[in-house]
Structures are given as C-alpha cells and as structure tokens.
Structure 1
C-alpha cells in the first residue's frame, strides 16, 4: 500500500465550535483548484530524498515546503483501514488493517468510508512530518481534476512510499474508491497546512470549514 501527503500551512489553528457526526463532505467554498495549484507550482525540496508512489517504482516525488504549507504531487491509492464497514473490510481490501495511526475522540480507529483523510509516510531519514508542523487531524487540501477536497491527516504509511488517501476522500474527488482496483495515477496535489488541527478529528465538516479559511489566507499571502 502507499501513502501520500501534501501541503502544510502556518500558525496553529484552534478549530472549535461544530459538533456532530463525521460527514464525508466536499468543500463548497474557498479558493479554486487553479488558485491553490498556482501557489505551489514550484518546489523548495525539504525532504533529503524522494519517495516512490508504489512498490517497485522509482523514487521521483520530493516533499516541498513553504512557510505555511508542506506539499507534494503524487498519485492516490486507497486507504481503507480503520473501522470495518461494508466498503472497507478484509474481503474488499486485501491489505486491510483494522486500525489507523490516529483515532477518533472516542478512542476508536477512523472510518475510511466516511471520513476524508490523507496518509503521510512514517517518519524516516527522508522526511519526518512531525518536524514540519503536521499532526494527526491536521488540515489538508487534496486537489485532483480541478476539484478540491479538504481532509485531515488520518493515518501513516510506509516510510518510502507516498500518495494515499481514504475511501471517502477518493470518492468525493470522483476517483474510484475501490480499495483493490481503484485509485488514480494522478496527478494529485496534497497541501498540508502547518500547525492546523481539527478536533474532533472525525468531524469532516470542521475540516472543510477550517480548510477553506486556511486556503483563502494562503492564496492571499
């Protein structure tokens, strides 16, 4: 399985106020995909090396950084790990794991079929997300085919592979979310906003609201 990340944006964001169940909600406002892509058109590489998008492929993806974000461009594989659902289980996903690196406010794993989230590579000598303002629940803008999906950092993956997001994130972007045969070769751009965090992590509506605000500030900076 593979994992992917993208941009991180600036100061610590205290996301509070909204309550209720997680909803795999796509964004309704904020900057356009073109505006966000224009801000990350160049790469100031902050990783010591590059990542593979799949096992057996060449290492071609650098992690890039700016003062407010961390970003990269990769493909998108489907992470169906976490709580068992009809969409995500050992029968639908040959790589299924019943846990995620980060958990809901009730202590349970995340629900891939409901919550748009992104997978970051496990810390290594190549790149350690923890040293760049990225945390579990951090806000991410995922861009594909002129669509923007705001998500959270929800899981970690292999230390040498990048480019993965949840079933819900893929579905909202119009990507086949099937964990066995779905995903996209991209290009998919990931933008992590440094210092941001949604609480509770499972509230997708909060991620959208916070993402729109952070992205607007980033585009205007």
Structure 2
C-alpha cells in the first residue's frame, strides 16, 4: 500500500530530524552495489541510459494521447499529486478505459531487493495490495505496475472493473510502457508506479530522489486482466490488443 503523504522528492520540506534520517539512509544506500539489471524478459532500459528501450506493442504514444484528449470525469472529486498540492487531477473515462494525467512517484514496496529495501527507501513496506499467483508479494524492481488510489467516495476503482492485474498503458513523452495494477494508495493522492515502470520509461527510479513531473498519462483498460499478474509478457500482449481497440474507436 502506498505510504507517501509527502512526495519524496520534496524531503527538504520535512522536519530537520527527518531530513537527517533520510540523508543517513541515502548515504548508506549509496554504498551498496548498483541496482540490478532488468530481468531479461522485461523490455526496459536503465534510467539515464542512452540506449533506446525496446518498443512495447504496436501503438504509438501520440495515438494513445489523442484517444484520451477529452476528459469525461467519473470521479466525484479530484486528486492531489502530493500532500499539500492543489486537488486538480480528475479520473476520466472513455470507451473501455479510465485514465488520468499526473506526476510519477516511485513505489518500491513489495518483495525486498537490492534497489528496493529499507535502506534505499526509508518508507519501504514489504507488502503490496495484490500478490503474485504463488502468493508472494510483487517485485517492484522488475515488474512494471501502477498504483491506484484506495477506494473511496471520491472514486472506487472496482466500480470501473479496475483491480489487481488490470492492464495499464503508461505514457511519458514518446514512450509507452505496459504495466498492471499492483498496489493501492491513499484515497486523496494519485500518480505513482513501480521502480520497474519508471526505469522502462527513462525516468529516474530512485525511490527517494526519482520520479517525474505532471506529464505522465495512465490509461487503465477495463475488461480482461493479465494472467498471472506477474507475467509481463501477458500484460504487453493484452495491453497492445486493448490499446489498438481504444485508438480505433477515436
């Protein structure tokens, strides 16, 4: 479950004692080995790499953005991207999908690894809202997943056929990354995805200093899910099919 009431990139705003604690944790993490290379099956590129990422699917980012240009708001209210920010992000709907445009904070929760643990992420939690088919927690380092706001009066994702394994297309600039819904967060905040999602999009995945500004589009497709949730190839195949269907309707 997402636990970031204050965006980690803005830790300068927290109390001095907390800032010292975060600084100490970051120093300790810098002494570790570099984050592991992406899983061989994941079409991702390390943040900062000059190499082009492997293209996911056949639908261009521009076509997906055009299909979600108009917003029919389905949330009863709007969301904040960070604690203290203005609530100005609606959840919108189009045929076969819901979507929003927000920032990206980094979710490192779930299975502990070299890049995601209590030393690299002082707010690390060892659980995710949804689990793998074998009962294990999701692996934020290697599984592209997105976080949805917890169900509330403002918006209940389950009423729109969105739950664990729902396939998402995440767009940043000219890149498209398919992912699954893997975690839930606070009921008033929006805009977060796993370490692996950020890395694949060329966004700094560091859980403390990484993330992106408010130019990330999240499209969550209703209907068939990726099965099992941890199978990224299934998410890409399903996502490309649903993305082609979405753009063809617009």
TM over 0.5: yes
Counterpart of 2:157 in structure 1 is 129
- Give the distance between the partners of 1:81 and 1:127, measured in 2 at CA: 23
1:24 paired with 2:42, answer yes
CA shift for structure 1 position 85: 0.2
Cα separation, 2, equivalents of 1:145 and 1:93: 27
Contact 1:25 1:208 in 2 (8 A): no
Question: In structure 2, what is the Cα distance between the partners aligned to 1:22 and 1:104?
Answer: 19
* 8 A contact 1:142–1:148 mirrored in 2: yes
TM superposition shift of 1:31: 1.1
Aligned-pair CA distance for 1:25: 2.7
What displacement does 1:205 show?
1.1
Cα 1:35–1:64, aligned 2, differ >3 Å: closer, same or farther?
same
Cα gap change, 1:61/1:144 in structure 2, threshold over 3 Å: closer, same or farther? same
**Residue matched to 2:130:** 102
**Partner residue, 2:120:** 92
For these two proteins, the number of residue pairs brought into alignment is 203
Where does residue 229 of structure 2 map in the other structure? Answer: 201
Does residue 182 of structure 2 align to residue 154 of structure 1?
A: yes
Partner of 2:72: 44
> Contact 2:56 / 2:178 at 8 angstroms: preserved in 1?
no
Is the 8 Å Cα contact of residues 56 and 177 (structure 2) preserved in structure 1?
A: no
TM-score by length of 2: 0.79
Contact 2:56–2:176 (CA<8 Å) still a contact in 1? no
| Richer in helix (by share) | 2
Moved over 6 A (4+): none
Unaligned residue ranges in structure 2 (runs of 5+):
6-38, 45-54
Alpha-carbon distance in structure 2 between the residues aligned to 1:107 and 1:125: 30
Structure 2 distance, partners of 1:89, 1:42, is 39
Map residues 57-68 of structure 1 onto 2, 5 A cutoff.
57-68=85-96
- Decide whether the 8 Å contact of 1:137 with 1:201 is kept in 2: yes
Counterpart of 2:84 (choices 23, 34, 56) is: 56
8 Å CA contact 2:93–2:99 kept in 1: the answer is yes
Cα distance, 1:209 vs. partner?
1.2
Unaligned runs of 5+ in 1: 3-20
SS of the residue 2:217 aligns to: strand
Whose RCO is larger (CA < 8 A, sep 6+)?
A: 1
Q: Tell me the distance in 1 between the aligned counterparts of 2:68 and 2:231.
A: 27
* Contact 1:25-1:205 within 8 A present in 2 as well: no
Check whether the contact 2:132–2:229 (CA below 8 A) recurs between aligned residues: yes
CA distance in 2, matches of 1:68, 1:197: 13
Between the aligned partners of 1:95 and 1:196, the Cα distance in structure 2 is 33
Alpha-carbon separation, structure 2, partners of 1:28 and 1:157 = 27
Partner residue in 2 for 1:116: 144
Which secondary structure does the structure 2 equivalent of 1:197 belong to?
A: coil
